[in-house]
Structure 1
Amino acid sequence: MTTEDTDGIDGTDDSAFTALGALSDPVRRNLYRHVAATPGDVGRDAAAEAVGISRSLAAFHLDKLVEAGLLTVSFRRLSGRTGPGAGRPAKVYRRAEGEHSVSVPPRAYDSAGRLLAEVVENAGLDRALQAAARAMGATASSTDLVETLRARGYQPFWDGSTLRLRNCPFHALAAEFPALICGMNLALIEGLAPEGGWSPEMDPCPDGCCVALKSSRKSSDESSKNKSIDDRSEPQPS
């Protein structure tokens, strides 16, 4: 579920200002970035280590981000053990599903986006949209695809030899027009990806983007590494 908090013409939505204002502190901003980009839950110790602060300071700022609606909290045993002696469940954090935005002065780009998406879908212009997205991606293509995707808000992370995308920059529109927007997104990433080294495909990340990318280079490196290990394990002639 996605919620959008925007600045209204007759007044302001205080919840949006509160949420975004919580990120004015640089430590809090770094903690949010780390938790938001991490698949799964993040404990206080891991968050503190990631940004180089004490556990108590991390706990304080993480809970402030929860109060602002930017993170959610749950409890689980990080050791994986159960039963007597397993210890108390730890407090863990993950990115909240809500979407907060403020425009000063008020703007309604989201409404225009929905209207345009509806017109394109009703007119059956999916292929034209994909061609335009692929061409736009090609103009911004870079040899460092991971950094390009990170700069565009996808929050990429490695899952073996697959590059998955933690965030969908088009989440609100994709929820209403999944076939149209996900097809456009795949075409855009195909344009961004350097030829020969990557294979973008539809492979949704839970709570993230619908597209994943296979790296032929990383797969080749892992195959070579595994072959070397296998060769070493074979008995050598005396």
Structure 2
Amino acid sequence: MADEEDAAYEAVSALGDPVRRRLYRYVAARPGWTGRDAAAEAAGISRSLAAHHLDRLVESGLLTTSFQRLSGRTGPGAGRPAKVYRRAEREHRVSLPPRAYDTLGRLLAGVVEEAGLDRELQAAARAAGRTAEPDTDPVTLLRERGYQPFEEPREDEHGSDGDGDGDGTTLRLHNCPFHALAEQHPALVCGMNLALIEGLLAGRRSAGGREWTAVMDPRREGCCVALKSKKNGS
């Protein structure tokens, strides 16, 4: 227990530097690997300074590293692989004094699941989502709640999503705010999460009038819910 607390304190202390916070937020929000040049440009600092801070974040367990050829080329003349970074999977929670809200969450989820109260939980989550600020962009609401939305590249040259009722734009959610509980109670928590996002989206449009609908579309990484854009006025 003490070792876990020490690791969490170390992670938090690493983010005390404002430059590291900017770098971490940028790298953590991206769905893939990030190179030093891109991170440095986003933070407005030199590449060498970005490298120093990024490696400090790795030492603290907040980021993980790999080596890739960022040009996408292979074979002779492709150049040496570059060091790249992405958010580490490990969670860090700090509470002073120590609290055990995660234990309470697991107990409550277990009781709800055993009692078969899935629909009641989803109704409560949907209602909670609707209480969010009515005039706020729904994508902003998701970002503020830690979902880290990003636009998924379109798969075909015509920009069609193949279902005939959208404009081809899909938003993926890089982070699941309920990851630990979702791993233990996937059906319950993912159903609640979908309902919560449906509530957040209800009656709200993004800038330019874009309307979103939430669908269950689990992937190996990130949130189980994706957002599909509807045609304006639909």
Give the TM-score category using the shorter length: 0.7 to 0.9
The answer to which of 210-219 and 40-49 deviates more is 210-219
Q: Which residue number corresponds to residue 218 of structure 2?
A: 204
2:45 paired residue among 36, 43, 53: 53
> Aligned partners of 2:129, 2:54: CA distance in 1, in Å?
36
> Aligned partners of 2:11, 2:175: CA distance in 1, in Å?
18
**Inter-CA distance 12–70: structure 2 relative to 1 (3 Å threshold):** closer
Q: Which residue number corresponds to residue 175 of structure 2?
A: 167
The answer to which of 113-122 and 156-165 deviates more is 156-165
CA shift, 1:188, in A, is: 0.2
Whether the 8 Å CA contact 1:203–1:210 is kept in 2: the answer is yes
Whether the 8 Å CA contact 1:174–1:181 is kept in 2: the answer is yes
Q: Which residue number corresponds to residue 153 of structure 1?
A: 146
1:144 paired residue among 111, 121, 137: 137
> Aligned partners of 1:18, 1:188: CA distance in 2, in Å?
33
Kindly report the root-mean-square deviation, in angstroms, between the aligned alpha carbons of the 2 structures: 1.8
> Aligned partners of 1:139, 1:18: CA distance in 2, in Å?
36
Deviation per residue, 1:86-137 (Å, 9 max, x gap): 1110000000000001111111100000000000000000000000000000
Secondary structure of the 1:106 match is coil
CA shift, 1:13, in A, is: 2.0
CA shift, 1:141, in A, is: 5.0
Unaligned runs of 5+ in 2: 155-168, 205-210
> Aligned partners of 2:26, 2:182: CA distance in 1, in Å?
24
> Aligned partners of 1:31, 1:146: CA distance in 2, in Å?
22
Is it true that 1:214 corresponds to 2:206 in the alignment?
Answer: no
**Structure with max Cα Rg:** 1
What TM-score results when the alignment is normalised by the length of structure 2?
Answer: 0.86
**Inter-CA distance 12–210: structure 2 relative to 1 (3 Å threshold):** closer
Paired residues in the alignment total 212
Partner AA of 2:222 in structure 1? G
Structure with higher helix content: 1
Q: Percent identity?
A: 71
2:202 paired residue among 188, 194, 205: 194
Unaligned runs of 5+ in 1: 1-5, 221-238
Partner AA of 1:49 in structure 2? E
Q: Which residue number corresponds to residue 157 of structure 2?
A: none
